[in-house]
Homo-oligomer: A and B are copies of this chain.
Amino acid sequence: MTEPVVAPGRARGGRRDEILATFTRHVAERGYDRANFGDVATELGMSKGTIVHHFGTKDRMLAEVQERYMRRRLEEAHVLLSRLTAPEQRIAAFVHAGVRYSTEEPATTVAFQREVVRLTDEPGMETARAQRDAYRDLVVAVLRDGEADGVFVPGDARLRSLQMFGSLHWMWTWFDPAGRLPAQDVAAEFCRTLLRGLGVGEVAVAAAADPDGPVARCVAEVCAPRG
């Protein structure tokens, strides 16, 4: 019925990635519970058994999606922190990067954001959870440093990080990567409101939020697709 694109046995370890990508897209579109092996297999013209062969269980597959996503995010974050030093630029970079990902890799991003809650309780998600926590700790540290330096007004850094991540993680429910609204505009507006809210002066806010400014350019370089 469905002819395989590649001759069987011919693919050099390649099917695995295809499966993961398709599965990721289905999770993004329908959520984990409604995503199923049958549909993924049909779409790729293969058998359900193949998926099981490569990944074992559905849980493991989701865990791998989450871990891959967070690994890249963490790598980016460290590079960004090494290139930018001012606290307000660092925070702006996290925001720009967070928004940017929604357009660069919408499927992976949405799949991750929809199913983050599974990181907290589900077993087998320890690695991904640790990665997520490490990422948030980076942001909290920047907030604390900025506070110590007098760049940010005093406040609860942890709550502020959650407020910030909330805005970004919620994007999957309303943002359309193919829509009219450019992601840059979202990033700029989010940056402005957030940085001003942290007590950063208007000049620094404008520079850090600018889609064509140094921070956004730095993020664009670091977060190039297929890093």
A contacts, CB < 8 Å to B: 31, 33-34, 114, 116-117, 120, 153, 155-156, 159-160, 162-171, 173-174, 185-186, 189-190, 192-199
Residues of B within 8 A of A34 (CB): 33
Given A170-B169, A173-B116, A185-B197 contact (CB < 8 Å): no
Interface centre among A155, A159, A160, A198 (most CB of B within 10 A): A159
When the two chains form their complex, are residues B170 and A156 in contact, meaning their CB atoms are under 8 A apart?
Answer: no
Contact B156 A163 (CB under 8 A): no
Q: Which residues of B contact A116 (CB under 8 A)?
A: 173
Q: Are B173 and A160 in touch, CB under 8 angstroms?
A: no
Report how far A31 CA is from B115 CA in the complex, Å.
11
Beyond the given pairs A159-B185, A169-B170, A197-B197, 17 more chain A to chain B contacts, judged by CB atoms under 8 angstroms and listed by A's residue number, are A31-B117, A114-B117, A155-B192, A156-B185, A156-B189, A159-B189, A159-B190, A160-B189, A160-B193, A162-B170, A162-B174, A166-B166, A166-B167, A166-B170, A166-B171, A195-B197, A196-B197
Contact B120 A193 (CB under 8 A): no
**Min CB–CB distance A165 → chain B (angstroms):** 7
Which of A171, A190, A195 has most chain B Cβ within 10 Å?
Answer: A190
Asked if residues B193 and A155 are in contact (CB atoms below 8 Å), the reply is yes
Across the interface, name the chain B residue whose C-beta is closest to A205. Answer: B197
Of the candidates B165, B166, B189, B198, the one whose C-beta lies within 8 Å of that of A168 is: B166
How far, in whole Å, are A212 and B173 apart by their CA atoms in the complex?
33
30 contacting pairs across A/B (C-beta < 8 A) = A31-B33, A33-B34, A114-B117, A117-B173, A120-B173, A155-B189, A155-B193, A156-B189, A159-B186, A159-B189, A159-B190, A160-B193, A162-B167, A163-B167, A163-B190, A163-B193, A164-B167, A165-B170, A166-B166, A166-B168, A166-B170, A166-B171, A167-B167, A167-B170, A192-B197, A193-B198, A196-B196, A196-B197, A196-B199, A197-B197
